[in-house]
Structure 1
Amino acid sequence: MTLSYAVRRRPPRRDVGSPLPASYLAWLAAATVSQLGDVVLGFSVGWVAADHGGTAAGLVLAAGSLPSVLLLLLGGTIADRFGARRVMIAGDAVMLAASLGLALAVLHPGTPLWLLLAAGVVRGVVFAFYSPSAGSMPRRLVADAQLTRALALRQGAAQTVLLLGAPLAGILVAAGGLGSVALLDAGTFLVVLVVLLLVRPRYTTPPSDRGVPVWRAALDGVRVVYRTPGLVSALTLLAGAAAFLLPTMSLVLPLLARDAGWSAAATGVVAGAQGVGIVVITVVVARRGGARRPGVAASGGLAVAALGQVGLVVAATTSAGVATPAGEWATVAAAGLVGAGSGLFTSHLGPVVLGSAPRTHLARVQALVGFVQVLAVTLTNAVLGALASATSPAAAGGVCALGLLGCATAGAVALRRLTLDPVESAQ
């Protein structure tokens, strides 16, 4: 018997007052420190790779992202078979050794391209195995009724890391170079490694699929998603949100900013406003709990994000070449709306996806979550970039807003009766 979430007519039980377990808070704190080190190292490697030219920098980025996509489902399967905690301990040990090796390697003058490529490949491979395990850890450490608050706190911490990571990386690279950053990253991996050795999951299941070939066990994760009520709709909505929401700040905003003549500093402030919006919403959800109808709340978040995207497009097109205080505040407010909508969406739909997965398939479902999002955003980034070049950045932003509105409408219909009330179901 495993816990799964189902559509319920009666009001759901929500756990708002009880504190999150100390084991989860300790793991989250260590994981956040490790993520900060990883973000700083990723930025630093990219910065150093840029010295070799644009093509080289692109190769280094691809060296990290390609293994992640190709091995993600395998990583989830290995975690379900041998245990997420074991996979994470192994991954942290490998990254600790790799970071120390990188720090020693750059003691010699120069940073050859092959070294940066090797660092990217190692990070990408470890991420493919580590990410599904880390994504499943909240449900292994907290009660199902606490998932919404636990995941909201994790998202807020992750967004704070993203806000601080790039500026911190710039300071550290300027002060001590790539070697000092690699040493810092090694220290953060040591912290999370020690915590993982001390913390044990509160909710465990026996290893699954021991006698089944790995490739078949990976495909079994797809079967479970297909057969679990609500998971297909939820993953489809996640893919749609990734396709039209993630490119907003990474692709559409820089194009809009350049077209409007904004400075890099001003564009950075706008991007930061989105992060602040995410943090504010996730902190509220972490303290007060989620909405009774998470599907409706998540869909509403996409609608709010769409409204913010429209505001960004309007602000960029009306302020081209003419910067006014009112226009700047309107742009920041629009970016904040995008962030608030994003936070509302993920903090409500994330617990549904993780909570609906059978405990024997937690990491595989998380691997599929990552896979559909990466695939969706990869496709739309190419299409939106081509559209912006052929027409205008405003057209690409408009397509994102319309896409999000369509996803919000579809999600409100498909997930309108979804609640977070756990019930026992046989698997």
Structure 2
Amino acid sequence: MTSSHAARRRTPRPGAGLPLPASYLVWLAAATVSQLGDVVFGFAMGWVAAEHGGTAAGVVLAAGSLPSVLLLLLGGTVADRFGARRVMIAGDAVMIAVSLALAVAVLHAGTPLWLLLAASVLRGIVSAFYRPSAGSMPRRLVADEQLTRALALRQGAAQTVLLLGAPLAGILVSAGGLGSVALLDAGTFLAVLVVLLLVRPRYATPSSDPGEPVWRAALDGVRVVRRTPGLPAALGLTGGAAAFLLPTMTLVLPLLARDVGWGASATGTIMGAQGAGIVLVTVVVARRGGSRRPGMAASGGLVTAALGQAGLVAAASTPIGEVLGWPTIAAAAVMGCAVGVGSGLFTAHLAPVVLGSAPRTHLARVQALVGLVQVLALTITNPALGALASATSPAVAGGVCALGLLACAAGGATALRRLTLDQVEGAQ
């Protein structure tokens, strides 16, 4: 390598070290408040629905997720055609009305099952149109050189909401019930609506052809992903991570904890350690930027998460804490933190690849496909891992998750080894 070439590689990218735009930070603050409202409302819905029995609670939650899955790609298509900001403004306005109507209905009719089902379905429909738009907003508000830092900050904010949301939800539901939570949720939607009316995208995004049928425009998103270098591999890796990484804390850990007799408090501590690991990584990436080789960094994150998963299984199945001289729960919390660090590394480096590689005419549709890949992967692996844990043991299911992540990491390292941040930032 010549010295001049090395110097060019060390030259700072324009805008890479500049502060993130105020418009993005204001939008992110409002979106984070809205997400907190979603977390609290989701807890409240599950809690109230459980009063009608386990089957009813499952139906209520499924009623919200099913329309979201079925309409997600359509939502991305509409956002690319009419503008993500317009779709989000309409979505926030609808959700304010829905939340206020729910609060009034609860006041007069209580919480009958039909009301919970109707509210869940309406939220699921709006979410299908809202999520792809919101997912594409960072690239509409920040320069491509700042995308990694912007998405890391958003991931850290989202994880912080998840850490704080559950305890807050429990307090609010106990104090005010579903009606009060619905009023709070309306207030969070109003905050985002006001911000969206004031904030406009900084970077122009061409609209899709208005004369093209909607169904064809939706399928065109699949075609674009297939033909865009790096995107098929990145989406495949996203699906693999969703299949084997996301069930770690939501499914495998609770099963492990019950199997070995860990209490709810100890399990919550381990989950909190995972969240702390994610926040730690995202704070570093948001301040210093990501790796110049995002594909390799994302694969390394999966390896780290897999080692954490294996350590978590070992902490539950064998006295690994005694070997290290730590209490078992402390050892498990360290392993949970490792899972979080790996998860943070993966998302902080792969999310900019997906969003940054997408053509600007297809930003929302690509984000819709990301959501579909994740949901479909979880739909397959969650029941399979649960059945495997029942037939064998939760430790075996955890081991399968770790092996699956290692296989995904190997595939990602091979498929994305040549990908650099310069290629992502140069996407049009």
Residue of structure 2 equivalent to 1:29: 29
The CA RMSD over aligned residues, in Å, is: 1.8
| C-alpha displacement of 1:424 | 8.9
Match of 2:156 in 1: 156
Aligned partner letter, 1:241: A
In structure 1, what is the equivalent of residue 3 of structure 2? none
SS state at 2:422 partner: strand
Distance 1:123 1:423, change over 3 A: closer
Contact 2:357 2:427 in 1 (8 A): no
Query: Corresponding residue for 1:334?
Result: 335
On the 8 A contact 2:359/2:427 being kept in 1, the answer is no
AA matched with 1:340: V
- Match of 2:316, as an amino acid? A
Question: Contact (CA 8 Å) 1:12, 1:420: kept in 2 or not?
Answer: no
CA deviation string 1:203-227 (max 9, x = no partner): 1223212101100000000000011
1:360 is matched with which residue?
361
Q: Residue in 2 aligned with 1:239?
A: 239
Specify the SS of the correspondent of 1:106. Answer: helix
- Aligned residue for 1:18, secondary structure, equals coil
**1:292 Cα offset (Å):** 1.1
Distance in 1 separating the partners of 2:380 and 2:200? 39
Task: State the Cα distance separating 1:58 from its structure 2 match.
Answer: 0.2
Quick one: distance in 1 between partners of 2:419 and 2:243? 23
Q: Cα offset for 1:108?
A: 2.3
The amino acid across from 2:108 in the alignment is H
Distance (whole Å) between structure 2 residues aligned to residue 38 and residue 152 of structure 1 = 20
Query: CA 1:125/1:164 → structure 2, altered by over 3 Å: closer, same or farther?
Result: same
Which has the higher mean CA deviation after the structures are superposed, 267-276 or 12-21? 12-21
Q: Which residue does the alignment assign to 1:292?
A: 292
Q: CA deviation at 1:425?
A: 7.5
Q: Give the partner amino acid of 2:381.
A: T
Distance 1:160 1:143, change over 3 A: same
Residues 53-97 of structure 1, C-alpha deviations (whole Å, 9 max, x = no match) = 000000001001101110000000000000000000000001111
1:353-374, Cα deviation, whole Å (9 max, x unpaired) = 1000000000000000110011
Query: 1:314/1:276 Cα in 2 relative to 1: closer, same or farther (>3 Å)?
Result: same
For residue 287 of structure 1, what is the amino acid of its counterpart? R
Given that residues 13 and 421 in structure 1 are in contact (C-alpha distance below 8 angstroms), is that contact kept between their aligned partners in structure 2?
no
Partner Cα distance (1:310, 1:150) in 2: 31
Whole-angstrom distance in 1 between the partners of 2:83 and 2:50: 38
- Separation in structure 2 between the aligned mates of residue 396 and residue 75 of structure 1, nearest angstrom: 35
Alpha-carbon distance, 1:265 to partner: 1.2
Which residue of the partner structure matches residue 282 of structure 1? Answer: 282
Identity of counterpart residues, as a percentage? 80
SS of 1:201's partner is: coil
- In the other structure, the counterpart of 1:382 is 383
Q: Which amino acid aligns with 1:40?
A: V
Q: 1:328 to 1:238 in 2, by over 3 A?
A: same
| Contact 2:301 2:342 survives alignment (8 Å) | yes
For this pair of structures, how many residues does the alignment match? 417
Aligned partner of 1:79: which letter? A
Residue matched to 1:6: none
Counterpart-to-counterpart distance in 1, 2:268 and 2:424: 45
2:4 aligned residue: none
Q: CA deviation at 1:16?
A: 4.4
Contact 1:132 1:363 in 2 (8 A): yes
Report the equivalent of 1:252.
252
Please name the residue that 1:99 is paired with.
99
Q: CA separation in 2, counterparts of 1:423 and 1:247?
A: 29
Paired letter, 1:354: L
Encode CA deviations 1:264-303: one digit per residue, 9 max, x unaligned: 1111111111111100100000000001111110000000
- Per the normalisation by structure 1, the TM-score is 0.95
Counterpart residue number, 1:205: 205
How many Å apart are 1:139 and its aligned residue?
0.2
Deviation at 1:410, TM superposition (A): 1.1
Correspondence 1:54-65 to 2 at 5 A: 54-65=54-65
Displacement of 1:405 after TM fit? Answer: 0.5
Rate the CA distance shift 1:94–1:426 in 2: closer, same or farther, 3 A: closer
Deviation at 1:10, TM superposition (A): 5.7
Residue number in structure 1 paired with 2:311: 311
Deviates more, 1:42-51 or 1:407-416: 407-416
Do the aligned partners of 1:312 and 1:335 also contact (CA within 8 Å) in 2?
A: yes
SS in 1 for 2:202: coil
Q: CA deviation at 1:343?
A: 0.3
Q: Per the alignment, in what secondary structure is the counterpart of residue 161 of structure 2?
A: helix
Contact 2:98-2:119 within 8 A present in 1 as well = yes
Unaligned runs of 5+ in 1: 1-8
Aligned partners of 2:261, 2:163: CA distance in 1, in Å?
23
Counterparts of 1:377 and 1:410 in 2: how far apart (Å)?
19
Q: Counterpart in 2 of 1:224?
A: 224
In structure 2, C-alpha distance between the alignment counterparts of 1:11 and 1:398, rounded to whole Å: 41
* Change over 3 Å in CA distance of 1:270–1:304 after alignment to 2: same
Equivalent residue, structure 2, for 1:49: 49
Separation of aligned partners in 2, 1:262 and 1:425? 49
CA distance, structure 2, for counterparts of residue 52 and residue 12 of structure 1: 62
Structure 1 CA distance for aligned equivalents of residues 169 and 178 of structure 2: 10
Question: Could you tell me whether the CA contact under 8 Å between 2:295 and 2:419 is conserved in 1?
Answer: yes
Alpha-carbon deviation of 1:409? Answer: 1.0
Contact 2:140/2:205, CA 8 A, preserved across alignment: no
- Paired residue type of 2:183: L
- Listed as ranges, the matches of 1:63-74 within 5 Å are 63-74=63-74
The answer to whether the aligner puts 1:394 opposite 2:408 as a matched pair is no
One-letter identity of the residue aligned with 1:386: A
**1:345 corresponds to 2:346:** yes
| Cα distance between partner residues in 1 of 2:12 and 2:353 | 14
Q: Any stretches of 5+ residues in structure 2 without a counterpart?
A: 1-7
Determine which structure has greater relative contact order: mean sequence separation of CA pairs < 8 Å that are 6+ residues apart, divided by chain length: 1
CA drift of 1:318 comes to: 2.3
Q: Secondary structure at the match of 2:420?
A: strand
The Cα offsets for residues 231-258 of structure 1, whole Å up to 9 and x where unpaired, read as 0010000000110000001110010000
Which is worse superposed, 207-216 or 296-305?
A: 207-216
Asked whether the 8 Å contact 1:13–1:145 carries over to 2, the reply is no
